[in-house]
Amino acid sequence: MLQIRSLSKTYANGVHALKGIDLDIPRGMFGLLGPNGAGKSTLMRTIATLQDPDTGNIVLDGLDMLADKTAARRTLGYLPQEFGVYPKVSAEDMLDHFAVLKGVTARGERKELVQALLQQVNLWEVRKRKLGTFSGGMRQRFGIAQALIGQPSLIIVDEPTAGLDPAERNRFLNLLAEIGENTVVILSTHIVEDVTDLCPRFAIIATGQVRLSGEPHEAIRALDGRVWRKTVDKAELAAHEQAHSVLSTRLVAGQPVIHVLSDSTPGDGFAPIAADLEDVYFGELRKAAAPATEA
């Protein structure tokens, strides 16, 4: 169990990135949803001990991660949104190098570890290829391999499927799901479908605060019978946004399709639809933005 309490962070430029974050994250896949600038990457870097918060603490299975960063780093693996590799080095040699850096000094043990990891992430057949020739999905799977060195208790992945094609995205997410059976895996993303499909628990973060946390299906159930859909003319869109709580707008065949949150029918032409996690997500972002809009 990862426990985060009262975590706050303000940068030197005045940006208040985290505002009293409280989260309990159990073993398994945990989705952290939020838009760009919500504070997700700041939270991930802080959990990974790459920066200090102003206040708060982080405890993993009784280990105070901020008080003992050396011990904390032995228990975690981190795949940041962007990570560098040497393009002319093979996957096998680079993973061997990472293993040395993580303290696996015995040559035989290291060889077995590298082989097992490359097989686990399905890169064994291309182990001799230079990393610069890898596709985006292959690079991400290599990133997970390096994050798994040392059998960490906590894996942090920040926007891991950005830029991947659908097939690579599925392969990567399936790999994460397998890892999450025995480990705390935090999946930080703005792609709602990734969380719906994979994560038994999740949280939505916006403007540096946790807006909602719990089980995706429970959050969706709270919107049962309250989400309505209508195809509208572009000229009518602004009027609908003034009159209703519009959760989202999407162009379908060139026409705006709006989702509206209402306890009763919003009027002629609106049809009730089953809510999904995207509706929950946009609803929380709308609430988070409301005070600033009113001001």
Q: Say yes or no: 209 and 234 in one domain.
A: no
Please report the pLDDT score of residue 137 as a whole number: 83
What does the alpha-carbon distance between residue 170 and residue 174 come to, in Å, rounded to a whole number? 6
Nearest 5°: phi and psi at 135? -75, 170
Taken in order 235, 240, 243, 247, is the CA torsion positive or negative? negative
Q: Say yes or no: 109 and 237 in one domain.
A: no
Whichever domain contains 66, its CATH number is: 3.40.50.300
Q: Say yes or no: 211 and 285 in one domain.
A: no
Q: Say yes or no: 230 and 288 in one domain.
A: yes
At 203, the amino acid letter reads A
- Measured between alpha carbons, how far is residue 133 from residues 83, 118, 218 in Å? 15, 16, 43
What does the alpha-carbon distance between residue 211 and residue 21 come to, in Å, rounded to a whole number? 10
Strands 76-79, 154-158: pairing kind: parallel
Please report the pLDDT score of residue 175 as a whole number: 84
Q: Say yes or no: 202 and 244 in one domain.
A: no
From 161, 193, 220, the end of a domain falls on 220
Q: Say yes or no: 152 and 251 in one domain.
A: no
From 181, 201, 220, the end of a domain falls on 220
Element (H, E) at 79: strand 76-79
Whichever domain contains 282, its CATH number is: 3.30.70
Q: Say yes or no: 257 and 214 in one domain.
A: no
Q: What's the half-sphere exposure (Cβ side, CA atoms, 13 Å) at 38?
A: 25
Q: What is the pTM of this model?
A: 0.86
Cβ 199 vs Cβ 29: under 8 Å? yes
Q: Say yes or no: 159 and 41 in one domain.
A: yes
Please report the pLDDT score of residue 294 as a whole number: 45
Q: Say yes or no: 154 and 263 in one domain.
A: no
Please report the pLDDT score of residue 293 as a whole number: 44
Please report the pLDDT score of residue 8 as a whole number: 97
Please report the pLDDT score of residue 291 as a whole number: 58
Q: How many domains does the chain have?
A: 2
CA 89 to chain centroid, in Å, comes to 29
Query: Which residue shows structure tokens 């909602």?
Result: 212
From 193, 220, 247, the end of a domain falls on 220
Q: Say yes or no: 212 and 255 in one domain.
A: no
pLDDT in tens, the chain (295 residues): 999 999 999 999 999 999 999 999 999 999 999 998 899 989 999 999 999 999 999 999 999 999 999 899 888 998 887 777 788 999 999 999 989 988 888 999 999 999 999 998 889 999 999 999 998 888 888 988 888 888 899 999 988 877 778 888 888 888 888 888 889 999 998 889 889 888 999 999 999 999 999 999 999 999 999 999 999 998 888 899 888 999 999 988 888 999 999 999 998 889 999 999 999 999 999 888 875 544 3
| 30 CB neighbour count, 10 Å cutoff | 24
DSSP string, 221-233: HTTTT-EEEEE--
Q: Which domain holds residue 239?
A: 224-294
